[in-house]
Amino acid sequence: MRNIAILGSTGSIGTQTLDIVREHKEIKITALAAGSNIELLEKQIREFHPKIVCVYHENMAMKLREKVKDLTITIVSGMDGLISCATEGEAEMVVTAMVGMIGIRPTIEAIKAGKDIALANKETLVTAGHIIMPLVKEYNVALLPVDSEHSAIFQALQGEAHKSMKHILLTASGGPFRGRKLSELQNIRKEDALKHPNWSMGQKITIDSATMVNKGLEVMEARWLFDLEIDKIQVVVHPQSIIHSMVEYIDGSVIAQMGIPDMRLPIQYALFYPERIDLIGGKQLDFTTLKQITFEEPDMDTFFGLALAYEAGRNGGSMPTVYNAANEWAVARFLENKIGFLAIPTIIKEAMKNHKRIENPSLIDILNVENETYDFVKEYAESEFKYKP
Amino acid sequence: MRNIAILGSTGSIGTQTLDIVREHKEIKITALAAGSNIELLEKQIREFHPKIVCVYHENMAMKLREKVKDLTITIVSGMDGLISCATEGEAEMVVTAMVGMIGIRPTIEAIKAGKDIALANKETLVTAGHIIMPLVKEYNVALLPVDSEHSAIFQALQGEAHKSMKHILLTASGGPFRGRKLSELQNIRKEDALKHPNWSMGQKITIDSATMVNKGLEVMEARWLFDLEIDKIQVVVHPQSIIHSMVEYIDGSVIAQMGIPDMRLPIQYALFYPERIDLIGGKQLDFTTLKQITFEEPDMDTFFGLALAYEAGRNGGSMPTVYNAANEWAVARFLENKIGFLAIPTIIKEAMKNHKRIENPSLIDILNVENETYDFVKEYAESEFKYKP
């Protein structure tokens, strides 16, 4: 029996985690949390019987309380509610699958409560890796990556010593605009950017894939997860998304993890680690029908959001928070059709240029920097891109 | 300090093992053995100072004794001499790099003397896996594969449980005649068959690559090394020889080991296992210049020597010995220009057809079957291929 809490249960990772739980009666759901999708949350409650559920927005929490008043269940809301779900006594593992910096505090509190973390929230390590990683050590919990690339690296590292690692080769599909030049990205529409060639994911992460900012966030995340200098983490464009990432060792040996793109595989790997179990309904890689896989260098001039991630990562401190917050704000506006595609990396660049870096930011510093970044980029977009709120 | 003995020190694997030892003063050579190349052996003796050396042919051993009479060294000969080298007291590991079934007895004796084995002799497991593997367990020694494919599988298995394995995907370059049809292989000359696209190896193994019999032997060897049914070991043709082999797990995850073809990598991995160390002068895989890697199904109609290996492996018992002995004899005759290229798998096929399988052959049975096979194929080749001794 393994008890897990899922934060972000109505999103892409959350629902796929529940798909796996459905097939494994030995897993018990103790807590669920979501932003506002109470219709789906109600269904999940009736199927998985959690003890406590958080709806981030209190007005939606009230509506959910009404809907499930026939059940004995605690419905909470807000950041305190989220933290209650993250620290609920029976859970042994917390799946952090919410999008955005909202994930940091619940993750910290879950670690302090001794829970293992299945990490699907990028922002946590990108902005607060220097706070999280020492806590993971101090409280002796497992931090298991759920992202397919980081799971691949984690799998390729099994049985190997950290000192043997030479490079991490983080693969990238290159997104829907791979091969295009900067001038060709000027008039990209939201509909085009939402067409990812290999993975079906949430809207935010799909846009991040199109800009390759997603790969930039992954590079910064890998730096913390695998304790390697950022310049030893190299991006390899591999359009078929069959190799999910690789580790190159000091003897020249490269260990790669491969598979049909299916997020349930890394999710299940984290849930059952170190055991591997059958992936029900999973497809098998067939190399004879696959025929070939290809590799390219990333075009960092066109996808300069990726180059900026290396810059932010090298600078460290509060700079990755600026990178992330500026991107988060810009992607949301792009999805509202209020700014263009290339405005996204441009806004990140300007926000980083404007920021006075804090060496070792506290959690409060991080949250302040996030808000200051939002203020700056809003003003910048109003003046430069005629953005209107 | 690690003390090693090398059996087959003047061959391709032997000399490359010494290339590594040369760079690592912490390794001491305690014994060397070779067939007849006493010129090279003398150089090796003067550089690496072994205590005991075996020259298989006594007349050559006598000549070597004369050459090195200025040194305090024991020169032995024959099978007893080989076994003395394999069991010499100071060695902790024996590299078994001799070609042919001559390797079986020294390997058995080394295991019984508590030595770890770096296995580069294919015939040992192919013909006597059912004897060797229980001994490895009984004497609690490590059996480390040196072959690049088996080393790749072994590396891909690090940190994983045996029960998680679903398939082994053994990669094959396909050799110099990949893509050709049976009729096009009729008039192949020795010179063409000796041109391997990716690996520089001894003559016997290069011909075995051209017929894909080498891959067949590897399949049978993998069955013992990794304790998996032969039909769970699949051959994937991958002409670039970048992926050295893969393991597919029950969850659909595939772990691959990759690298620039360089035999020193798997040799060094076996010598220093479980530690990885810098490969001096080793080249780094560069995925952006690599551009693409391809996969094909093996053509078992054309390269029917490979299909016969699966048949021999499924039959088990003494059948793999027949497969191996028939091939060994036929390749030697092909290298003497006495039979044609397609006679090689045809002779294997007929020898297998003729053989009355022994279920659980003893070492004596195996050696008898080898000799009976030689007698049969000689007669068969004389009548069918007008072979003249």
CB nearest to B251's CB, from A238, A282, A290: A282
* Phi, psi angle pair for A92, to nearest 5°: -100, -25
Among B90, B65, B87, B89, which Cα is nearest to B76's?
A: B65
CB nearest to A277's CB, from B251, B293, B294: B251
CB nearest to A258's CB, from B254, B275, B278: B254
pLDDT of residue B197: 66
Cβ separation B265–A279 shorter than 8 A: no
A interface mutation test: which of B165, B276, B293 has the most A CBs within 10 A?
B276
- DSSP string of B338-374, one letter each residue: SS-TTHHHHHHHHHHHH----SS--HHHHHHHHHHHH
pLDDT averaged over every residue in chain B: 95
H/E stretch holding A248 reads strand A243-249
Computed from CA positions of residues B27, B28, B31, B34, in that sequence, does the dihedral angle turn out positive or negative?
positive
How do strand B233-237 and strand B74-77 relate by DSSP bridges? Answer: unpaired
Chain B partners of A159 at a C-beta cutoff of 8 Å? 158-160, 274
Chain A partners of B164 at a C-beta cutoff of 8 Å? 275-276
Chain A partners of B246 at a C-beta cutoff of 8 Å? 258
Cβ separation A288–B275 shorter than 8 A: no
Which residue in chain A is spatially nearest to B285 when comparing CA positions?
A252
Alpha helices (H) in B74-189, listed in sequence order:
78-87, 104-112, 122-138, 148-156
* Residue B183 clears pLDDT 70, i.e. is over it: yes
CB atoms within 10 A of CB A130: 16
Cβ separation B295–A294 shorter than 8 A: no
The Cα of A291 is separated from the nearest Cα of chain B by a number of Å equal to: 5
pLDDT of residue A195: 81
Cβ separation B288–A294 shorter than 8 A: no
* Residue B200 clears pLDDT 70, i.e. is over it: no
Structure-block tokens of residue A238: 């591999």
Cα–Cα separations (whole angstroms), residue B102 to A67, B105, B122, B370: 79, 7, 11, 11
pLDDT of residue A1: 64
Residue with tokens 């490895």: B136
Cβ separation A275–B164 shorter than 8 A: yes
CB atoms within 10 A of CB B23: 14
The Cα of B144 is separated from the nearest Cα of chain A by a number of Å equal to: 16
CB nearest to B295's CB, from A254, A275, A290: A290
Which residue in chain B is spatially nearest to A151 when comparing CA positions?
B253
Interval B39-69: pLDDT, tens? 999 999 999 999 999 999 999 999 999 999 9
For residues A117 and A144, what is the distance between their CA atoms, to the nearest angstrom? 6
What pairs with residue A365 in β-bridges?
none
Which residue in chain B is spatially nearest to A169 when comparing CA positions?
B287
Chain A partners of B294 at a C-beta cutoff of 8 Å? 291-292
A332, with CB counted inside 10 A (0-12, 13-18, 19+), is middle
A interface mutation test: which of B165, B237, B254, B260 has the most A CBs within 10 A?
B254
Contacts of A374 (CB under 8 A, 6+ apart): A325, A329
Cβ separation B279–A246 shorter than 8 A: no
Among A88, A77, A121, which Cα is nearest to A3's?
A: A88
Alpha helices (H) in chain A, listed in sequence order:
12-23, 38-48, 58-67, 78-87, 104-112, 122-138, 148-156, 190-193, 203-211, 213-225, 264-272, 287-290, 304-315, 319-335, 343-354, 363-384
Q: What is the DSSP letter of B261?
A: S
Computed from CA positions of residues B248, B249, B250, B251, in that sequence, does the dihedral angle turn out positive or negative?
negative
Side chain identity at residue A14, one-letter code: G
Note down pLDDT in tens along chain A; length 389 residues: 689 999 999 999 999 999 999 999 999 999 999 998 999 999 999 999 999 999 999 999 999 999 999 999 999 999 999 999 999 989 999 999 998 888 999 999 999 999 999 999 999 999 999 999 999 999 999 999 999 999 999 999 999 999 999 999 999 999 999 999 999 998 898 888 888 666 666 788 899 999 999 999 999 999 999 999 999 999 999 999 999 999 999 999 999 999 999 999 999 999 999 999 999 999 999 998 888 999 999 999 999 999 999 999 999 999 999 999 999 999 999 999 999 999 999 999 999 999 999 999 999 999 999 999 999 999 999 998 888 88
Interval B290-343: pLDDT, tens? 889 999 999 999 999 999 999 999 999 999 999 999 999 999 999 999 999 999
For residues A296 and B278, what is the distance between their CA atoms, to the nearest angstrom? 26
Cα–Cα separations (whole angstroms), residue A182 to A42, A213, A340, A346: 45, 15, 13, 12
Helix (H/G/I), strand (E/B), else coil: B68: coil
Cβ separation A276–B251 shorter than 8 A: yes
Number of H helices, E strands in chain A: 16, 12
B281, with CB counted inside 10 A (0-12, 13-18, 19+), is exposed
pLDDT of residue A199: 63
Q: Are A31 and A56 in contact (CB under 8 A)?
A: no
Cβ separation B251–A265 shorter than 8 A: yes
**Rg of chain A in Å (alpha carbons):** 20
Q: What is the DSSP letter of A342?
A: T
For residues A219 and A239, what is the distance between their CA atoms, to the nearest angstrom? 18
Cβ separation B275–A160 shorter than 8 A: no
For residues A224 and A36, what is the distance between their CA atoms, to the nearest angstrom? 31
The Cα of A285 is separated from the nearest Cα of chain B by a number of Å equal to: 7
Cα–Cα separations (whole angstroms), residue B195 to B188, B192, B203, B264, B386: 12, 6, 10, 20, 27
Among B2, B81, B72, B66, which Cα is nearest to B34's?
A: B81
Cβ separation B284–A248 shorter than 8 A: yes
The Cα of B276 is separated from the nearest Cα of chain A by a number of Å equal to: 6
Computed from CA positions of residues B101, B170, B140, B17, in that sequence, does the dihedral angle turn out positive or negative?
positive
How do strand A27-34 and strand A2-7 relate by DSSP bridges? Answer: parallel
